[in-house]
């Protein structure tokens, strides 16, 4: 029941609120956007003062409610903003932006929210030509390994299939300069517009790819994965293993 998790949250927060090195706390995740299920934990993000030399994450069950918490100094949160953005992710920025402020002693929660929103708006850099060529080869190699495993009736073929599908999504997202959808959310982000908007993800710019990807996700066959990868190759300038070559600068001579 709704009252149960709210009472558990209040009890949890009281223990942190009395500590002088805690500046703010936010409710985030599915409960913050109203999309929780019976398997959802209550996510809490705790902002620590910058003179704290540690960070912490943990889980605690209060009256049957699972609470997952993250506690970080302000400087650590800002580091996550930058570090994750460099990896085509806005995970921490999203946590802060969608978060509901539970308390804010110093005003830092609103400051961080404003900074996080800037990361949510900032475009990602597109990868260079060398990265693109290496990425295309990696997809070809993963598909080739899958075909070999299937031909040998190797039990690992299902594992290889989903690794390759995940890699395809990662590669194409980076190539397009968009955020890489988290594996656990990819299907709902592509299928459920309400879910996508609640978590502030942009609509994926290539609808044909989305349909191919979903088909490959729903029907685990090598030919469906191959259609996904072939589409990516076409958008990335083509790929032919026959004659493929990549020459880059070696280390300077000693």
The per-residue pLDDT for 2 is 64
Q: In the predicted model, is pLDDT for residue 1 greater than 60?
A: no
222, 168 contact by CB (below 8 A): no
Over the stretch 79-114, which tens digit does the pLDDT of each residue have? 999 999 999 999 999 999 999 999 999 999 999 999
The per-residue pLDDT for 252 is 83
- The 8-class DSSP code of residue 106 comes to S
Instruction: Name 25's Cβ contacts closer than 8 Å, sequence gap at least 6.
Output: 13, 16, 17, 44, 45, 46, 47, 101, 102, 103
Per the confidence metrics, is the pTM higher than 0.85?
yes
Rounded to whole angstroms, the Cα distance separating 205 from 246 reads 29
Q: In the predicted model, is pLDDT for residue 223 greater than 60?
A: yes
Mean pLDDT score, 180-201: 95
Helix axes 91-98, 74-85, angle to 10 degrees: 130
Rounded to whole angstroms, the Cα distance separating 129 from 106 reads 46
The per-residue pLDDT for 253 is 73
The per-residue pLDDT for 254 is 66
92, 100 contact by CB (below 8 A): no
Residue 62's closest CA among 42, 39, 91, 45? 42
The per-residue pLDDT for 229 is 98
The per-residue pLDDT for 50 is 96
Domains of the chain: 12-121 (3.30.460.10), 129-235 (no CATH)
3-state secondary structure of 108: helix
Residue predicted with more confidence, 253 or 84: 84
């Amino acid at each position: 029941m709704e009252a149960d998790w709210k009472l558990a949250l209040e009890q949890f927060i009281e223990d942190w609120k009395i500590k002088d090195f805690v500046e703010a706390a936010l409710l985030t995740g599915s409960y913050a956007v109203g999309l929780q299920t019976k398997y959802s934990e209550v996510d809490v993000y705790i902002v620590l003062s910058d003179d704290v030399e540690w960070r912490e994450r943990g889980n605690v069950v209060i009256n049957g409610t699972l609470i997952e918490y993250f506690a970080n100094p302000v400087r650590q949160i800002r580091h996550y903003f930058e570090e994750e953005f460099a990896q085509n992710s806005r995970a921490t920025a999203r946590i802060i932006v969608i978060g509901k402020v539970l308390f804010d002693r110093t005003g830092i929660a609103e400051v961080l929210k404003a900074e996080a929103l800037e990361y949510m708006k900032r475009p990602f850099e597109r990868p260079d030509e060398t990265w693109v060529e290496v990425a295309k080869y990696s997809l070809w190699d993963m598909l080739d390994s899958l075909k070999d495993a299937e031909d040998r009736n190797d039990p690992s073929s299902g594992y290889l299939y989903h690794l390759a599908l995940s890699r395809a999504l990662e590669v194409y997202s980076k190539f397009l300069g968009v955020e890489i959808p988290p594996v656990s959310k990819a299907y709902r982000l592509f299928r459920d517009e309400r879910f996508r908007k609640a978590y502030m993800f942009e609509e994926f710019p290539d609808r044909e790819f989305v349909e191919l990807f979903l088909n490959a996700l729903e029907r685990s066959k090598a030919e469906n994965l191959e259609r996904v990868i072939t589409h990516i190759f076409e958008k990335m300038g083509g790929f032919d293993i026959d004659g493929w070559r990549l020459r880059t600068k070696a280390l300077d001579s000693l």
